[in-house]
Amino acid sequence: MKKKQKVKLLPYFLILPTVIGSVIFSFYPFFKTILSSFSVTDQYGSWQGWAGTTFWKMMFADKAFWQTLGTTMKFAVVIFIGTFFFAMLFALLSTKKTKMGKVSQMLYALPIAVAHATSSVIFRFAIKNGGLLNTWTGTDTAWLADENIAFWIVAIVTIWTHISGSYLYLLAGFRGVPEDIQEAAVVDGASGFTRAVKIMIPMASSQIFFVLFLNILSALKAFTQIRLLTSGGPNGSTTTFMWDIYQRAIDYGEYEYACCLAIVVFVIIFAVTRIQFAFEKKFVHYQ
Amino acid sequence: MKIKAVMFDIFKILLGIVMVSPLILALLVSFMPKSDIMASPLEITLANATFQNYIEGFQYLNLGTYLKNSFVMLIIILPCQLITALAAAYGFSHFNFPGKNVLFAVLLSVMMIPGEVIQITLFKMIVKWRLIDTYAGLTLPSLVGVSAVFLFRQYMQTVPKELREAALIDGCGDIKYFIQILTPLCKTMIVTFSLRAFVNIYNSYMWPYLVTTKDALRTVQTGVAQISMNNHGGITLAAATITSIIPLVVYFFGMDQIVEGMTAGAVKS
């Protein structure tokens, strides 16, 4: 009798730590974020009273909010197109296993180990005033202070940091295409380009969709490179949601407003993930 | 035909060199003395190459402390995530109990909450608990990881049920089976997960940046960023180079494992 009871309790003990941890550090803060967006809070984020939809109305009426939304969307689109283009190019170039191919493969994959903070620091050295870019172009342009250029610099640094990871996913997908199918296409006289478009890309659709959405999502979550390269400036031209949330919550003491923004980000990410699942169901080719 | 193939290989390698050129640049600059870096116009030259930047990074700046803090973070978080995730995966894959589906749904929905969305609220909690500038503040929110639970559970489900039945008949208890038989079977998954978690934690910036204000508690990434604010490019890039070596080595030796793990998470079986 006693033994039976022990067996019954064991699974609860096994999953208890994970459940408790998730409730305290995921669920609770998530619901507190929602609650706080409708409340007034003190400096510790503790509840002080209801605010109704005050902060939500304030956010939607705020011109800066719409600018941030636009910048974040533009950023996500640029990151995913740029990263996808280069990762795809490198992956298609390394599909065929050759002796020397190992070397180029290693070079394409190497930057995956580089953190966003590290790549930002490296690029900033080249881009800053009196840096290499000035020497090479023979100008004294302050690149990061230029509203039109700063956004693209942040985008390039982000794309560079993302390429290797996406490349490895795509490569794994292409390597998964059965060799007899590839050989059959070669025998049938299909050119390299035709093989890529008609065979490799459809057969690796699962990885391709994954990489596309991975890049959109990580662009939506970008923080480090913005903090280290531009701090959201000049004139808010590189202020995306994560930077806006951080600044309002920590620098400006507008935690409630920041919570509204955080919920908006959650809704966008949630929607993107839903679309990802729907796409996977509909278009992905499983063998 | 052969020449064409060689040309193609050379082209591919040249493209690869362009790809890693920022890293080559960082390496070169890290050996340049201050006088060369401050020169205008700036030129990359190793005419006066020196180790001075590395020496200064460790001697006058807290590079050693940053590395230590990152490793303390890793030593606390990694084993905690592994043990809790393995245990939970065992519970979900090998037992039937009342409330199992509800609890599983709870964990599944945690996956839908991105860490970035709740970051500021977590920060407020850590402030309220007076854990700013402590290892507890750095590590607490990461002690359990739900995605690892799903990774391990998926694998454990493929272990034949007969194995457990045989072990139980031989007098092996549930816990003994978990520790001595099942966990060693998950070795590949554990290594794959650990490698990726290692680099993710080591390379993390936002959370350590939020919860540390003192230099003595800064981790590698926040530390290097701090160095870059107050020092010349040579020292900054020496710090960036030396701290990047660790994840580079992890990826170099664990590349196949990591790629396998990436696709294990990406492809539905």
Question: Looking at this predicted complex, what is its ipTM?
Answer: 0.89
Average pLDDT, rounded, for chain A:
88
Question: B266: pLDDT confidence band, cut at 50, 70 and 90?
Answer: very low
**Is A126 near chain B, with CB under 8 Å?**
yes
For residue A138, CA distances in Å to A153, A173, B131 come to: 18, 44, 50
- The string of pLDDT tens digits covering residues B68-112 is 999 999 999 999 999 999 999 999 998 998 989 999 998 989 989
A44 phi, psi to nearest 5 deg: -90, 5
The pLDDT of residue A257 is 93
Q: Prior bond to A234 cis, omega within 30?
A: yes
The beta-carbon neighbor of A21 closest among B90, B128, B144 is B144
CB atoms near residue A208 (< 10 Å):
24
Closest CA of chain A from B195, distance in Å: 11
With contact defined as beta carbons under 8 Å apart, do B238 and B61 qualify?
A: no
For Cα atoms B135, B138, B142, give the angle at the middle one, nearest 5 degrees. 120
Q: Which residues of A touch B118 (CB under 8 A)?
A: 26, 29-30, 33, 262
Cβ contact, residue pair A26, B110, below 8 Å: yes
Q: Which amino acid is at A267?
A: V
- Residue of B226, B249, B224 lying closest to B237 (CA atoms): B224
Dihedral angle of Cα B73, B76, B80, B81, to the nearest 10 degrees: 10
A17 phi, psi to nearest 5 deg: -55, -45
Average pLDDT, rounded, for chain B:
89
Q: Map residue B199 onto helix, strand or coil.
A: helix
Q: Which residues of B touch A121 (CB under 8 A)?
A: 224-225, 228, 236-237, 240
For Cα atoms A88, B14, A116, give the angle at the middle one, nearest 5 degrees. 60
Where in chain A are the domains? 76-234
Would the pTM of this model clear 0.80, i.e. be above it? Answer: yes
With contact defined as beta carbons under 8 Å apart, do B219 and B66 qualify?
A: yes
- The string of pLDDT tens digits covering residues B209-251 is 999 999 999 999 999 999 998 888 889 999 999 999 999 998 8
> What is the torsional sign of CA B221, B222, B225, B226?
negative
- pLDDT at residue B18 tops 50: yes
Maximum separation of any 2 CA atoms in chain B, in Å = 79
Closest CA of chain B from A103, distance in Å: 7
Provide the percentage of residues in chain B whose pLDDT is more than 90. 56
Token output for B148: 């690892």
Q: Prior bond to B160 cis, omega within 30?
A: no
Provide the percentage of residues in chain B whose pLDDT is more than 70. 96
* pLDDT, one tens digit for every residue, chain A (287 residues): 444 555 578 999 999 999 999 999 999 999 999 999 999 998 888 888 898 888 999 999 999 999 999 999 999 999 999 999 999 999 988 887 777 788 898 899 999 999 999 999 999 988 887 778 888 887 777 888 888 899 999 999 999 999 999 999 898 888 878 878 878 888 887 777 787 778 888 888 888 888 999 999 999 999 999 999 998 878 889 999 999 999 999 999 899 999 999 999 999 999 999 998 888 887 765 54
For residue B130, is it left (φ>0), alpha (ψ between -120 and 50) or beta? left
> What is the torsional sign of CA A172, B253, B79, B124?
negative
Architecture of domain A76-234: Orthogonal Bundle (1.10)
Cβ contact, residue pair B13, A44, below 8 Å: no
Provide the percentage of residues in chain A whose pLDDT is more than 90. 56
Residue B112 per-residue DSSP state: T
- The string of pLDDT tens digits covering residues B193-211 is 898 899 999 999 999 999 9
The pLDDT of residue B262 is 64
Place of tokens 């008949």: B169
- pLDDT at residue B32 tops 80: yes
The beta-carbon neighbor of A22 closest among B17, B110, B121 is B110
How many angstroms from the chain centroid is the CA of residue A117?
15
Q: Among all residues of chain B, which has the CA nearest to that of A210?
A: B266
Interface probe with B: pick from A122, A153, A257, most Cβ of B within 10 Å: A122
- Cβ within 8 Å of residue B128, ≥6 positions away: A44, A45, A46
With contact defined as beta carbons under 8 Å apart, do B117 and A30 qualify?
A: yes
Cβ contact, residue pair B247, A255, below 8 Å: no
With contact defined as beta carbons under 8 Å apart, do B15 and A104 qualify?
A: yes
- Residue of A22, A53, A17 lying closest to A263 (CA atoms): A53
Interface probe with B: pick from A104, A161, A230, A261, most Cβ of B within 10 Å: A104
The pLDDT of residue B267 is 39
Window A:128-187, CB contacts with B under 8 Å: 130-132, 134-135, 160, 163-165, 168-169, 171-173
Beta bridge partners of B126: none
How many angstroms from the chain centroid is the CA of residue A265?
12
Q: Which residues of A touch B95 (CB under 8 A)?
A: 10-11, 14
State the SS3 of chain A.
CHHHHHHHHHHHHHHHHHHHHHHHHHHHHHHHHHHHCCEEECCCCCEEEECCCHHHHHHHHCHHHHHHHHHHHHHHHHHHHHHHHHHHHHHHHCCCCCCCHHHHHHHHHHHHHCCHHHHHHHHHHHHCCCCHHHHHHCCCCCHHHCHHHHHHHHHHHHHHHHHHHHHHHHHHHHHCCCHHHHHHHHHCCCCHHHHHHHHHHHHCHHHHHHHHHHHHHHHHCCCHHHHHHCCCCCCCCCCCHHHHHHHHHHHCCCHHHHHHHHHHHHHHHHHHHHHHHHHHHHHCCCC
The pLDDT of residue B269 is 32
- Residue of B166, B163, B183 lying closest to B175 (CA atoms): B183
State in Å, rounded, how far the first CA of chain A is from the last one: 50
- Cβ within 8 Å of residue B74, ≥6 positions away: B198, B201, B202
Place of tokens 């290097």: B224
- Residue of A43, A85, A125, A71 lying closest to A243 (CA atoms): A71
Question: B126: pLDDT confidence band, cut at 50, 70 and 90?
Answer: very high
How many residues appear in chain B? 269
